[in-house]
Amino acid sequence: MAPRFTSVQQVREGLRDVNYLADDGIAGVAFLADRLAKPILVEGPAGTGKTQLAKSIADMTGARLIRLQCYEGLDESKALYEWNYKKQLLRIQADKNSEGWSEIHDDIFSREFLLTRPLLEAISAPDPVVLLIDEVDRVEVETEALLLEILSEYQVSIPELGTITATQIPMVFLTSNNTRELSEALKRRCLYLHVDYPSMEREKEIVLTKVEGITENLADQVARIVRSIRQLDLKKSPSVSETLDWARTIMLLNIETIDAQVAKDTLHVLLKYQTDIAKAAKELSVDLV
């Protein structure tokens, strides 16, 4: 399979073209993951663009995005495959007078009766695929072992059908919010990328890129205030997506300069806990007077 990317700079420029502002660290890991055919484990605080990175790589390369949203209790039937039991039963009932059970058996355990889930779909797809395994830290250790097995060989063994091997190696992103420690085996299999909150200048650039019509001065105010709020001891710091929501709110209210009152009146868009809002409002009363 031909490489997706020619250079780190090409990755960075391609991501910028789809409005994802990546630094050389992010672009470099994506480039190496493609060349080494390795998954990328992306860790960091919630709302820093981990999921969006996978979506943007898919947009940039024209690949199909297949997403497995992880949750507690996720099992093989939801992640990999299961048989369409209703359709199999109808097939058996239709041939209930047949004497050739072996023929019926071979028929009902064919690809026609197989329900593919995200992992098998990504493995068996003939077209280019980006596989996003989102919030992998939410699954149990047993399911993590299944993921490791699939990502090690890029193949799936189905007892009734045999081994299905990938016709193309998908580009794989696993995201984690660090709610639990992942196994060393899974980490060894992946390239590691930590995505943190952006610097003030980069967040300003993101706001200018994503919020239509915003002025550079207003984007600068938004980035500076969010930066100061994140330095407080909060239950949940504002994510980049919440920064963008706040910037759009300021625009909708036709505000050109953010003073202490404006900031306090709109903090509920940026913060989601009353204790955090109260703490930030107190800080802003001092900073923006």
d(CA 24, CA 18): 16
CATH superfamily of 8-80+121-194: P-loop containing nucleotide triphosphate hydrolases (3.40.50.300)
Among 143-157, 229-243, 258-272, which stretch is predicted with the lowest mean pLDDT? 143-157
Kindly list the distances between the CA atom of residue 60 and the CA atoms of 16, 52, 289, in Å, as whole numbers in the listed order. 9, 12, 44
The mean pLDDT of the chain is 89
pLDDT for 105 equals 59
Which amino acid does the sequence have at 41? L
More confident residue, 133 or 168: 133
**Tokens of residue 162, six digits:** 């045999």
d(CA 274, CA 191): 38
228 φ, ψ to 5°?
A: -70, -35
Q: Can you give the pTM of this predicted structure?
A: 0.85
pLDDT for 143 equals 87
Beta bridge partners of 171: 130
Q: Does 13 have pLDDT greater than 90?
A: yes
Residue 110 CA from chain centroid, whole number:
32
pLDDT for 109 equals 74
Q: Does 106 have pLDDT greater than 70?
A: no
pLDDT for 113 equals 79
Among 74-78, 222-226, 233-237, which stretch is predicted with the lowest mean pLDDT? 74-78
d(CA 239, CA 103): 57
Instruction: Quick: pLDDT tens for 109-145.
Output: 777 778 889 999 999 899 999 999 999 999 988 888 8
Residue 205: closest CA among 21, 18, 17: 21
Q: Does 213 have pLDDT greater than 70?
A: yes
Instruction: Quick: pLDDT tens for 260-286.
Output: 889 899 999 999 999 999 999 988 876
Q: Does 102 have pLDDT greater than 90?
A: no
Q: Does 99 have pLDDT greater than 80?
A: no
Helix extents (H) in 197-239: 200-210, 216-230
Domain boundaries, the chain: 8-80+121-194, 81-116, 200-287
Q: Helix 216-230 vs helix 240-252: angle between axes, to the nearest 10 degrees?
A: 130
